[in-house]
A = this chain, B = another copy of it.
Amino acid sequence: MHDLPRHLDGYGELRAYAPATSDRRKRNKLLPSLDAALDAAGLKDGATLSFHHHLRNGDGVLNAVLDAAARRGLRDLHIAATSIFPVHAPLVRHIREGTVGRLSASFIAGPVGEAVSRGLLAEPAVLCTHGGRARALDQGQLVVDAAFVAAPAADELGNVSGRLGRAACGTLGYPLCDVEVAKCVIAVTDTLLPFPVAPIDIPQDRVDHVVDVESIGDPTGIASGTTRPTEDAIGLEIGQRAASAIAASGLMVDGFSFQTGAGGISLAAGAAVGRSMGERSVKGNFVAGGITGFHVEMLNAGLFRTLMDVQCFDQAAIRSYQTDPRHQQMSAAVYAGPHVGGAVVDRVDAVVLGAAEVDLAFNVNVTTRSDGLIIGGSGGHEDAAAGAALTVVTTRLTAAGFPKIVSKVRTLTTPGDSVDVVVTDGGIAVNPARAELAERLCHAKLPVVSIEELAAKAADAASRRSPPRSQHRVVAVSEYRDGTVTDVVRAMKEV
């Protein structure tokens, strides 16, 4: 080397290059076990572990990691999951035994929801939204010590593909946010492929360690719940009415963008919207959200130009993402973040969402059953409602004998100011704040009634009365996407 000056004005001190003495054997990020990964992440009692739910009710990673954590005697862990499904029932035991002390998620269903409702956790669970969770990660409010990525395929430097492997799940929109900020990222795969994986969904510089396990879960569990339009007559009628309301709104023009939940009525509404678009020769821009084969059919029928997919809901969607570049992955932040200066939900013209209950202020409950049992949570419900130009909530008047249009929702998940229309088998109620929309719907001869009328009809049709709201201890806090609180959930019994 030439002699170097020690210091240069405008540059500072110069540190001279020194040859590395390391050998040139290829490094890799492989660890032999989840145990080794917990070691490598340096996890201590009270640490926050994050998980995502692209394998939905087939996920095997959360349970395997917590089993390993329990064997090591870790205590009081905070589980920051995107969603908890019935398959995660072993989490109840880990809470009971003290391995897990805190829980946050956008959606909690099954035995864990029941256990939380009964007061199993000493500290309230936090129910966030998909967009709110991404915001909390990006803004440093949710600090993750170790993010676990259920990787359908990975290579030894940490490139992850959702499109390959025996448990291919398609897009990986949720962990895309976690891997940006977690202190340690661990890809757990059962399909280790030669470097580099192709196509890559999460790049290697976002992943610290790779663990090759026997199985990351059961891919048949991905398509849990309905992912096809309902064939039930009442459901079909509600779906048709929702589509008619959207058509009457004036939004269904070229460039139209659309989102539905994956429930049977929402998809029936989607089918009716598709027919209506076809009749009017409307060419839409995109469908957003969780994507099913039904949405893929809309893309392939030429109704929409592209799909913006945070999570594939079934195998047909996965196959589409594997092969069709019009079918695009988006992160939870891009999908629904309230902090990104405009998310995809903010560009949705019309969204069709479900409800467990709707009240006279158009507030929606998708968090608890009529008896207060936790059966879900917002997921993207609040985000989509807040973003869309037209938010349509569909519901039957009653379910299991309980009224679904009520004076006050048991748990306020999605605030009524972001809900425009409630479509039921008893008629359509328009939020009074949207007088012009009500006029359009009346002009289209749709059965517009007041929300009070719907509530009266629901009360008439109901055979049971919802029990009074619990006054017991708070077991969960329902956060809005901005981190404020829409409601709390109280224990079903004294605990």
Q: Which residues of A contact B (CB under 8 A)?
A: 1-2, 4-5, 8-11, 14-20, 24, 26-29, 102, 122-124, 126, 157-158, 194-196, 198-200, 203-205, 208, 255, 285-286, 305-306, 308, 325-326, 328, 330-331, 333-334, 337, 340-344, 346-347, 363, 386, 389, 408, 412, 415, 417, 469, 474, 477, 480, 483-488
Q: Give the oligomeric copy count.
A: 2
> In whole angstroms, how far apart are the Cα atoms of A198 and B194 in the complex?
29
Do A488 and B196 touch (CB < 8 A)? no
B contact residues around A305 at 8 Å (CB): 194, 198
With A27-B342, A205-B334 already in contact, 8 other A-B pairs whose C-beta atoms are closer than 8 Å:
A1-B412, A4-B487, A14-B477, A20-B417, A158-B341, A196-B306, A205-B331, A325-B325
From known contacts A340-B204, A389-B24, infer whether A196 and B484 are also in contact, taking CB-CB under 8 Å. no
Q: Which 10 A-B pairs have the closest CB atoms?
A: A10-B123, A205-B340, A198-B306, A19-B417, A17-B484, A14-B485, A157-B342, A17-B486, A17-B480, A15-B484
Residue of B204, B474, B483 touching A334 (CB-CB under 8 A): B204
Do B19 and A483 touch (CB < 8 A)? no
Do A203 and B8 touch (CB < 8 A)? no
List, sorted by A's number, 29 A–B pairs whose CB atoms are closer than 8 Å: A1-B486, A2-B469, A2-B488, A4-B485, A9-B123, A10-B102, A10-B122, A10-B124, A11-B126, A14-B477, A14-B485, A15-B483, A17-B415, A19-B415, A20-B417, A27-B342, A158-B341, A194-B255, A194-B305, A195-B285, A195-B347, A196-B286, A196-B347, A198-B326, A203-B330, A203-B331, A205-B334, A205-B340, A325-B325
> In whole angstroms, how far apart are the Cα atoms of A305 and B29 in the complex?
22
> In whole angstroms, how far apart are the Cα atoms of A431 and B389 in the complex?
67
Do B342 and A29 touch (CB < 8 A)? yes
Cβ-closest chain B residue relative to A2: B487
Do A16 and B417 touch (CB < 8 A)? no
From known contacts A123-B9, A205-B333, A334-B205, infer whether A328 and B16 are also in contact, taking CB-CB under 8 Å. no
Residue of B28, B328, B412 touching A2 (CB-CB under 8 A): B412
B contact residues around A122 at 8 Å (CB): 10
Cβ-closest chain B residue relative to A389: B24
Do B123 and A11 touch (CB < 8 A)? yes
